[in-house]
Structure formats: C-alpha cells, structure tokens
Structure 1
Amino acid sequence: MSQISSLFVTRLYRAALSDHKPAVDAAELEASCFSIAGDDEAGQEWCEENGYPGYTSYASLTDLPWRFPIFADLVKALDAHVAAFAGELQFDLGGKALELEDIWINILPEGGIHTSHLHPHSVISGTTYVAMPEGTSAIRFEDPRHPMMMAAPPRRADASEDQRTFVYVTPQVGEVLLWESWLRHEVPMNMSEDERVSVSFNYKWT
C-alpha cells in the first residue's frame, strides 16, 4: 500500500490581535495612521518619486513605536504573537530572541497594488489590518516551489488549499497574519473606492 507524506510545510499564522495584550484601540490606530500619513512629507515624496500608490512610511519613519504610544502597545502585542508562531515553527533560537526590525504603515487607495515580493533579511514578517473596506484586496501567497515547476501542469480549479500554487487570504480588521519572511506575497489591485489600511512589520533573530 502506498504512503504519502507532507514535507516542508509552509505555515501561515492567523489570529485576532486582541488574543495578546495590551489592548490596541482600533479607531485610535486607524486615526494615527492617517495622521502620520498626512504629516509625513518625506514619506509622501518617496511614494511620489517611486510611483508607490497611496502611502507607506517604510522609507521615511523608522521609529513609530517611539513616536506614538499606540504603536508601542501594538509592538508589545505583536511580540507575543511572534513568540507563539516561533514556537509553532519549532525554532531553536539558542537563547536569543526574535525582535522587531521594522514596522510601517500602508494606505492603499482604489486601484493601488503591492507587487509580489519577499523579505529576505528577516525571519518572520506579517501584517495587522486596520481598515478593510468591502471589496478590497485579499493578500496572495505563492507556493515557494513555483519557480522550479517549469514542466508541471497547472493545478485543478478544485485543488485543496494546501495543493494550490496561489492562496488568497482575506483578513478581517483586527487580525494579524504572520509568515516566514521567505514566502513570496502580494496585494492585488484594491477594487474598493475606500482605502485599505494595514501595518506591516519584520522580525529578526538577534
């Protein structure tokens, strides 16, 4: 009798941000994101110069938790989520810790996209969702083996999630998603008239 095993499993962590304390007020976080975007002239200029739709603080602000107490609270909650995910991944951290490397705001308007990419210098990456209007983009993850499947036929339309080449996940406001940083992902075009707001981050092994 044949036996089939699943090898080299790719994990995706999904949880309510509120599963770990401190509590982060969703309305305050959203207001803070828009306030920061309105004041961050360097970030606005970078987005315009680089053709980035909407706004990101990725290239301009590196100290959000220091500037805004709500981001400091957010990081404390994220630290607990990342520790839980690291345990699920069975990492041997050798007495070291996974620590926040960077955290940034994303505001994606109608028609905006965030093309396929990965985060090669980090260990765990993720996003928590601040505003997800009806009809806005999911996040799409790509099977990391995809570039090696040069002669493989396509998957059936009814293939199970763990066998698909691409998996779409539609998060809810207040959720956090975590994945290993080598996992390629993208945000397809925002088809909603309203802005999609999220906060993304990377953790490194120190």
Structure 2
Amino acid sequence: MITNLFTTPLYRAALSPDIDQRELTQSCLVIADDDEAGQDWCEANGFPGYTSYASLSDLPWRFPIFADVVKALDTHVAAFAKDCHFDLGDKALKLEDIWINILPPGGIHTGHIHPHSVISGTTYVALPEGSAAIKFEDPRLQMMMAAPPRTKDAPEHLKPFVYIAPEVGEVLLWESWLRHEVPMNMSEEDERISVSFNYKWD
C-alpha cells in the first residue's frame, strides 16, 4: 500500500466575474507607460519587459480596478488559507504587495520564491498564444541526490516540475516557499500581462 504523506497545494479559480479584463489590461499598460522609475529599475537590473515590483506600492489607490482585484483576492486567499488548515490565531492574512508584470516575446522570469510571505499568487490579464505557462518545482528536489529520473507517464504529484497553463481571468495561489518560474514567452509579437501579489500573516 502506498500512502502519500505530504502535499503541495495549488489553488485555481476564476478571479471574479465583476472584473473587466479589458479595463485591467488597459490600466496595466497605462501604468507601465507612465512609471519611469519602474522602467529605469527594469533596465538597470536586466529585467525583461516591465514590472512595477520595485517602484509602485499603491496600485489599488491609483486605479479603482486594482481595488476591485484586491477585494476578490482577499476572498480567494481566505478560502485557500482554510483549505490549507492554517491556524492564524488572532492575526489575519493581509495583502503585502501587488505588482504588474509585462513579459515581452523572448522574456522569462527565472526561478524564485517569495521570502517572508505566506501566500503568493498571480492573476492573468493577457496570455497570447505561446506566451508560456508557469512552472512549479518540487520543493524536495535538492534532496534527491541519487534518485533516478521519473518516467514520462509519472503522475503529476511525482514529477519534479509541473507546468500549469493558466487562462485569462484566472487566479493561482500557492504557499510562498514554493519555487516557481515563468518560461520564455514564445509568442512572436504579443506581451504576456499578469498581476502578482503576496499576502503576509499580520
């Protein structure tokens, strides 16, 4: 008998029927065009495309559509925290930061985690064909020193990497220690737009 002892949860859901994706897309593009500090940071750090991660911390204040996004995210994060059986005591999970990502053709976001946060995630605004999935890494990978490779037909929970192909208007949530990356945007012309965020225990 095989018993699977541990799990790495991934939450998937539609963000909200009340979010106008066209308005959200346009807001992301307007902010990216106006955010000179963010543009400078991306250029100085060799970051492909644009991110507001290092420059703007007030998106819900700047554009009401982001306040609507955060309201929807709060509901999803609360549901995910319940599914994870977190004992939060007298504290709550609260939004720590939220930022825009615009990934051009050929651009990638290399593997990383989100230290000091509890739940991280992304909601997808524009996903051109070939713009890539999101790739998650088995957190035990560094301890598999002598393990042979898995067969191609191995079940998903045994694979060292899992690729998830999201849809526009979908939100993904995961625990912030889970290493992840965005493979190369293989679209020939179009940008991949997403909004990422972290929640902390406060």
Bin of the TM-score, shorter chain as denominator length: over 0.9
Aligned position for 2:103: 108
Is it true that 1:155 corresponds to 2:150 in the alignment? yes
Q: Tell me by how many angstroms 1:61 deviates.
A: 0.1
Tell me the alpha carbon deviations over residues 146-174 of structure 1, each in whole angstroms, 9 at most, x when there is no partner. Answer: 00101110110111111100000000000
Structure 2 gap ranges (5+): none
Trace 1:81-100 onto structure 2 (pairs within 5 A). Answer: 81-100=76-95
Trace 1:1-206 onto structure 2 (pairs within 5 A). Answer: 3-18=1-16, 23-192=18-187, 193-206=189-202
Structure 1 gap ranges (5+): none
Q: Percent identity?
A: 76
Matches of 1:96 and 1:84 in 2, distance apart?
16
Task: Give the TM-score taking structure 1 as reference length.
Answer: 0.96
Q: Tell me by how many angstroms 1:120 deviates.
A: 1.4
Match of 2:43, SS? helix
Tell me the alpha carbon deviations over residues 2-55 of structure 1, each in whole angstroms, 9 at most, x when there is no partner. Answer: x22111200000000026xxx211000000000000000000000000000000
Matched residue type, 2:178: L
Q: Tell me by how many angstroms 1:200 deviates.
A: 0.1
Matched residue type, 2:7: V
Matches of 1:135 and 1:188 in 2, distance apart?
10
Q: Tell me by how many angstroms 1:95 deviates.
A: 2.4
Match of 1:18, SS? coil
Tell which deviates more after alignment, 3-12 or 165-174. Answer: 3-12
Would you say how many aligned residue pairs link Structure 1 and Structure 2? 201
Matched residue type, 2:46: G
Matched residue type, 1:142: E
Matched residue type, 2:83: E
Match of 1:79, SS? helix
Matched residue type, 1:5: T
Task: Give the TM-score taking structure 2 as reference length.
Answer: 0.98
Matches of 1:58 and 1:50 in 2, distance apart?
12
Matches of 2:62 and 2:33 in 1, distance apart?
15
Q: Tell me by how many angstroms 1:135 deviates.
A: 1.1
Matches of 1:18 and 1:48 in 2, distance apart?
34
RMSD: 0.7
Matches of 1:120 and 1:159 in 2, distance apart?
30
